[in-house]
Structure 1
Amino acid sequence: MVESARPSAQDEVVEITRSLIRIDTSNDGSGAASANEAPAAAYVAQLLAEVGVESRIYESAPGRANLVARIPGRDRTLPALILHGHLDVVPAAAEDWSVDPFAAELIDGMIWGRGAVDMKNMDAMILTAVRELVRSGEQPPRDLIVAMFADEEAGGLFGAQWMVDNHPEEFEGAGWAISEVGGFSTTVAGTRAYLVQTAEKGMAWLGLTAQGTAGHGSQTNSDNAVLHLAQALARIGEHDWGRSYHPSTLELLEGVARLNGTTFDPEDPAPTLAALGDAAKFVTGTLATTVNPTVLRAGYKDNVIPSTASARIDVRTLPGQHYETIVKLQELAGEKVSLERGIEFESMHAPADAPLVALMGELLREADPGAEVFPYMLPAGTDNKALARLGVSGYGFAPLRLPEELDFTGMFHGVDERVPVSALHFGLDVLGALIRRF
């Protein structure tokens, strides 16, 4: 059975979560100086040093700190397990929040603040579980590698991607990895279902630039860059990218339909998606490649037609569709609009029938009898994509037992981000059991 953590460890995971939130590591994605993770990495190093675990900090740029530590296992021939998180968060506009997003207030049994969900909660669960393991004097079955990365919210160029390129030796012998955006619960027909992330869509952050002829705003102009760009975006937005079901998505939807007392119809997924509740926000995005404009820039004065107009688009591709999607986007953009390649990663898939996944399901059912466990594909991305380049199978497993009324998936990058203390205690118990048994 999954045992409950000691009361002191339960207090500790709450305090570490709150302390990490109070360290503002906002990442606006503007480049090398877009965030400062160094104070958070120093805090993590201190927490590990307190229990005798040595860590190493690598800066990819001033302040862009990445931390790695290794705890030797009983059988060092087994592939090591990486427990990784990211220390940066997306920015938060304080005026939109009910509370100070970096005060980490504890209200009604929940910790509020930027990073409470994405993903300083998981960072704290990893650190507390590892500290408890080391304090006990017990060795894990295999080596554990703890990694806290910078820059995940901007593609990991100063974080996990940089570490894989510059310090792959830190992950030598690793075969498995656990990180964010999986293992959380949703409620289907009165039954809690936990979603373990076994796949991620590919991503591309691309630029579109339209060229035209500058002129006076009062004149007729058939070569208006703003119109060229708008027309290109309209064509892209209206394009039907088709619907398809990855095996992990199909297994999830068939399982949800079963719990709901129905049969999944691939031609009409809406009823099954609706049964997923708030988790449908994530799952719906895995049924097709998606392209969303996110940034628009053009002009500098009301009566001046600009010669250029630009946009940024966020592209998330299904497995096997990445490069054909890029080609199609250039076609849809048209002759007057150029496509600039930016950060790109192909989709990732880890085996859903792996022994690590089987143990995840076993532990979740032990901790929450009667629960169901399903695989799913994440429509976004994590640092598992970087580690996959080293042959590491990565999963999203931040186990949280959540109240049905909490819109958990809606709080990723959202306003009034918060996590229940009880969910942190649950996750600590499950993660602690996993690192002792795998």
Structure 2
Amino acid sequence: MLRLFFLPLKAVLKSSGIRLLATRGAPRCGSHNGQKLPLLQRQYSTASEVALQSGRRSVSIPTKATERIMGRWLLVCSGTVAGAVILGGVTRLTESGLSMVDWHLIKEMKPPTSQEEWEAEFQKYQQFPEFKILNHDMTLAEFKFIWYMEYSHRMWGRIVGLAYILPAAYFWRRGWLTSGMKGRVLALCGLVCFQGLLGWYMVKSGLEEKPDSHDIPRVSQYRLAAHLGSALVLYCASLWTALSLLLPRDKLPETRQLLQLRRFAHGTAGLVFLTALSGAFVAGLDAGLVYNSFPKMGERWIPEDLFTFSPVLKNVFENPTMVQFDHRILGITTVTAITGLYFLSRRIPLPRRAKMAVATLLTVAYTQVGLGISTLLMYVPTPLAAVHQSGSLALLSVALWLMNELRRIPK
């Protein structure tokens, strides 16, 4: 798989136009016995000269070819993050996230293989609140299903880490990273490691005993939102960088209307991100099961139990009714903003790809609204809810694509 990312050094040097002298002891000043050398033999890169003078093995330098390779690499990485987010959503929908009560980076990579090992794993699960309160009649076969769901999510997280860290180390060693890219790659790899720790921190909140609570054991919605939010940041940063490296830039005339459209696109992308993040609170509190009607919530536009918690701010994050209400408002606001963005873009001459991005954004937005309403009315079936969660990633991706198409070209 890694061969898709890596290009032999010889091919990179050839594509960049760099030629190294093969003659041992050849002069460095561009002449030989009083005669000038051919032009191609005098075209040294600074990095190559330093490597030859120091007697060390020469390394490549960033070129258009290496930028395309790194762009494809980050595109694959963003795809693995999207897979982790989708798989994590399904794990939450199937209530499988608390089935693995330990966290070991290497030890847990091997699943139980014998009946004795499975029974030992099941006994560990039986010591925690989810089994005692919710799943006290669960069979071993049912436990295996939720265990494998969580196991798949954790193993996929390790694949994400390898997809970032191993190629990054290779590119760094080859000298393909500019100083700016080095900082960005370090930040991305650090965020991947932070994600793993944050995931376990989130799971721990669902394993804690709460004597004063008779509610269904679940992870903290705050930690769930933090876990999802950091994953979305990682996804956005990776996808943005990949698109910036892969897509040729269109030089757009800097008009007042274009500046307005660019700001509108940025604000719309922020709304999409915020709406997706609010979905973590909906999932964490099972708020999608509270009012399964649309457009009204029950028989009212504004339900009576919207402000039952004290202080008032607590309702925004802990009252399932308010959490669902907020998610509805954010979704409606987002699709309205995208509609306005579409009509504004039609008044401005844009390149073909930018027009495609705006039209795709509008289409995905209304599809996502339809999925959300259907999920609500059908009482949150797992397959449909998973598609709705995936739709939020698709919408965020298209919003980033549009922003990238409209980005300012530095002079």
TM range (shorter): under 0.3
Q: When you count strand as a share of all residues, which structure comes out higher?
A: 1
TM-score normalised by structure 2 residue count? 0.23
TM-score normalised by structure 1 residue count? 0.22
Q: When you count helix as a share of all residues, which structure comes out higher?
A: 2
